[in-house]
Structure 1
Amino acid sequence: MSSIIILLSPEQAIVATDTLAVNLDGSPRQFTTKAFLLPHLKTIVAGTGLAGLASAWFRRVNEMMLVRSLDHLNFHTQQGLCELYGRDFGEIDGHEVSSSIYQIGVGDDGRMHGYSYSSFYDFEPRRMEYGLQMKPTAGPETEDSQRTIAQLMLAQRNLQDKEPASARVYIGGDINLIKLELDGTAIHTSLDRFPDYQEAEAAMYKGFGAA
């Protein structure tokens, strides 16, 4: 359960995520990083859904895989994610949790490309279109406007807060952003912080102490 906002063009990629991870009941568990930079591949790996899958996949790519580029990595990703998910993440405490992984970076043709992989489709690679993409939706009136990324993520959260707790995507913490250029130059920054950050943090420590 996460927010992700991606702005993809042939020359540049921007990936923004929130940092809130929750328990299965929706209560705050921790703050965490959900997008990771692989400078040697000029690639960003990000994830939504099950906490820990994106970071586990990042470690596997970074420490165990011999690949030369984003497209070379894409060739091996479906099999690798199916193995990782089935072994360590397919069922958590008796609950099946769907997840998506995104890999965005410089392709073999020298242009920026993106691929998405969903556990719902057995992590089959799907080429991402250029333009603005986000999950969950922020509403048609915001997706077609010139809203900033921080405003879009707040709109996502406002919509999700209206959903039943069992169906809600929980969004919070900080808004982290990675901007990647074709030459590999990257900026990783924190854009903003949700107003209930301290409240969520207090709930995390309270829950940790009760565990």
Structure 2
Amino acid sequence: MTALVFALQDDQICVAMDTLVVSARDKMPLYFQRKFLSLPGSNLIVAGTGHAGFITGCFQYLQAHFQEATIDDLDGVVPDIFRASVRGQGGLSGLTATIYHFGYSVEEQRYVGYAYRSEHDFRSDRLRYGLGFKPVVPVTPTNDIHFPDFLIELVLEQQRQDNLLPITERVGIGGEIEFVVMSDRLINVETVHRFSSYEAESIYIEQRTEA
């Protein structure tokens, strides 16, 4: 799975995600991967949490067929696409998946967000403005928020809390933190942090590949 933190405002969206993918079987590192898709022609960011294979397949399909579609266009069609994809794969092997769309709504003339969750049969759920994160961790209220530092601290806390769990219950958070800013109809992506666990994860992935 993954760490996801976002700050959704009508004039700007900030998103931070880690890059580590772990095995569903043993929860150990498999590889590093960007967990969101940037579609500048659509003013859209697509992010995913959960079943890595399903999310990658959705990214590839959207990139191949919906390069210029707006977030408004996609909201009407992607629930059926995601359901068909799950049926084609014969299910999600007991896992869950959520696809998030963040983008500029031409209809509303502002930024909006949607979540499509497998637990809800990929029904379109409009995201509220404000802060969102998965997995959930405590947040200290503050009016002094600076991006990307605030989101980095949240993801670091997500990793810390995740590491306290038994390994079978962990999400698996690590690699690097990639940060996206959407504003003024532009998208900027950068890597803003490397976890202290990165080197150990890299060595394990290399050894796993050679085994």
* TM-score relative to the length of structure 1: 0.91
* Paired position in structure 2 for 1:127: 126
In the other structure, the counterpart of 2:179 is 177
Q: What corresponds to 1:15 in structure 2?
A: 15
Structure 2: gaps spanning 5 or more residues: none
In structure 1, the partner of 2:168 is 166
| Correspondence 1:51-200 to 2 at 5 A | 51-65=52-66, 68-88=69-89, 90-91=91-92, 95-107=93-105, 108-141=107-140, 144-145=141-142, 146=145, 148-183=150-185, 185-200=186-201
Number of residue pairs matched? 204
C-alpha change, 1:104 and 1:79, in structure 2 (3 Å) is same
Supply the AA of the counterpart residue of 1:123: F
Structure 1 Cα separation of the partners of residues 37 and 68 of structure 2: 17
Q: Deviations over 1:79-136 (max 9, x none)?
A: 0011112223724xxx411011000101121110000011111111100001110000
Distance 2:154 2:168 in 1: 23
Equivalent-residue separation in structure 2 for 1:151 and 1:167 (angstroms): 22
1:41-69 C-alpha deviation (Å, 9 max, x unpaired): 10100001111333321221221248631
DSSP 3-state at the match of 1:10: coil
Query: In 2, Cα distance between the equivalents of 1:173 and 1:14?
Result: 19
- RMSD of equivalent CA atoms: 1.6
Ranges of 4+ aligned residues in structure 1 off by more than 6 Å: none
- In structure 2, what is the Cα distance between the partners aligned to 1:17 and 1:52? 17
Q: Distance in 1 between matches of 2:181 and 2:198?
A: 24
2:9 matched to 1:2? no
* Runs of 5+ unmatched residues, structure 1: none
Identical aligned residues as a percent: 28
